[in-house]
Amino acid sequence: MTATTTNEKPLQQLDNNLSGSIPDSNSIESHDDPAQHDASDPGPPPDGGFQAWSQTVVAHLVMFNSWGYINSFGFFQSYYVSTLGVSPSAISWVGSVQISLVFFVGTFSGRATDAGHYKKVLVAGLFLQLLGVFMTSLSTKYWQLFLAQGICTGLGDGLTFCPTIALLATYFVKRRSMAIAINASGAGSGGIFFPLIAQQLLPKIGFGWTVRVMGFVMLFNTIIIVALARTRLPPRKLGPIVEWSSFKELPYALFCVGMFLSFWAIFFAFYYVPTYGGTVIGVSPTTSLTLLLVMNAVGIPARILLAVLSDKFIGPMRTLILTTFFSGLLLYCWVSVNSEGRLFAFCIIYGSFAGGVQSVFPAACSGLTTDLKKMGMRTGMVFTVVSVACLTGPPLAGALIERGDGDFMYAQVFGGSALMGGTLVLLAVAISNGAISLPHFRK
């Protein structure tokens, strides 16, 4: 069996030692003639060099500001439930809407990237991120938090995340999984930093100023992002926002279904581990935040190691199948966790595999696209499908917890089953795409 999917092979036959010049994003956006675009095509992805690796820094910081903040929602979930007197399921809607918008907006922001407007979309998204965070620091009611943290920040995250993932994929082929893993590790570093800020500052300066400090950190990252971000390919002005014919491709259509099932449950533990630790295990609020820190922290080395595994040995699709399977298995195992030590062990192992799912799936998705100029659109289409899962998954888990009178078992079984279903569908993707071949038996 080969380590890459069939659709990735044409890409990997490109010459990855290109050392030609890379056009500035402003010069790219100034072209209007499609023929001129073809003439200025910079060629195959460089797979290295300062310009390419600087985009991994941009992508890492984009992930820090977006998914690092999102992965810290367990802190907000626990704090809002204890201070607002609102049910866990209702609070989950704030986080689920935020995640859903990240993916839903991806279809439109990804297409805008293909059309040559990456920098404009990026700046708009960064502004909305900062606006949402600082408005969250001023919010005292549920509806205010829903608008600021759920809607505004979610829109900003969606405008920055998908285009940056698509942009990064145009710079790398052989090292694509590694580049995307460096990008995705920003979710882990942000997921450590923001809860750590909350843990250290919340008792001293209160909720408002704690969130403002988070906003100032994001502002610093924003300055670096805007300074370094550059596009490589000429814009593709023509074509629809959604390419419906893509869903006629069996591997691509199955991939959308598999990722829907996987993301229906993947964030459940990130939202509810602090609450589980406090209400079921009986740990202190400080320890509850430490659990979230640990879950996010282990995702950093795990993402890098899984990227090496993907790039060098088994390919992104097989890596995604393995991480999805073990994530589902661990949610089943969570049912038997009844002590602080076991909960820490669960956070370490689950954080590693769940982080792998989040980091590897864009590389697996990009491997299903051979036309790099359609990368933003097709990636965004998958993200939009995933957005529905992210919107409904955490509130559904919260409703199952309420139905069980605080017992997490129904939600844990739901999460494990969704991920196992996703594993089976992704296995079908790998078989249909040639990443995994079935043995042939003689009659």
Residues 220-271 have pLDDT tens digits of 999 999 999 888 878 876 566 678 888 888 999 999 999 999 999 999 999 8
User: Higher model confidence: residue 132 or residue 79?
Assistant: 132
Instruction: Kindly indicate the confidence band of residue 173, based on its pLDDT and cuts at 50, 70 and 90.
Output: confident
Amino acid at 245: S
Kindly state whether residue 158 falls inside one of the protein's structural domains. yes
User: Higher model confidence: residue 35 or residue 175?
Assistant: 175
Note the pTM of the prediction, 2 decimals.
0.77
SS (H, E, C) 336-393: HCCCHHHHHHHHHHHHHHHHHHHHHHHHHHHCCCCCHHHHHHHHHHHHHHHHHHHHHH
Q: CA-CA distance, 140 to 89, in Å (whole number)? A: 19
Kindly state whether residue 33 falls inside one of the protein's structural domains. yes
Kindly state whether residue 137 falls inside one of the protein's structural domains. yes
Average pLDDT, the chain: 83
Average pLDDT over every residue of 150-163: 92
**Sequence-separated (6 or more) residues with CB below 8 Å from residue 244:** none
Kindly state whether residue 239 falls inside one of the protein's structural domains. yes
Asked whether residue 171 carries a pLDDT value surpassing 50, the answer given is yes
The answer to whether the beta carbons of residues 16 and 173 sit under 8 Å apart is yes
Q: CA-CA distance, 376 to 23, in Å (whole number)? A: 18
pLDDT of residue 11: 35
102-120 pLDDT per residue, tens: 888 877 887 777 778 889 9
Asked whether residue 154 carries a pLDDT value surpassing 90, the answer given is yes
Closest CA to 331 of 389, 265, 285, 283: 265
Kindly state whether residue 1 falls inside one of the protein's structural domains. no
Strands (E), 198-247: none
pLDDT of residue 98: 93
355-404 pLDDT per residue, tens: 889 878 877 888 888 777 777 678 778 888 999 999 999 899 989 998 88
Count of domains forming the chain = 1
**Sequence-separated (6 or more) residues with CB below 8 Å from residue 378:** 110, 243, 246, 252, 365, 368, 369
* Residue 45 structural domain: 6-433
pLDDT of residue 160: 92
The answer to whether the beta carbons of residues 48 and 212 sit under 8 Å apart is no
Angle at 168 between CA 166 and CA 174, to 5 degrees: 110
pLDDT of residue 31: 39
CATH assignment of the domain containing 182? 1.20.1250.20
pLDDT of residue 375: 72
pLDDT of residue 165: 78
Instruction: Kindly indicate the confidence band of residue 75, based on its pLDDT and cuts at 50, 70 and 90.
Output: confident
Kindly state whether residue 27 falls inside one of the protein's structural domains. yes
The answer to whether the beta carbons of residues 296 and 271 sit under 8 Å apart is no
pLDDT of residue 187: 84
For residue 220, give both structure tokens: 């610093």
User: Higher model confidence: residue 21 or residue 278?
Assistant: 278
Kindly state whether residue 123 falls inside one of the protein's structural domains. yes
Kindly state whether residue 442 falls inside one of the protein's structural domains. no
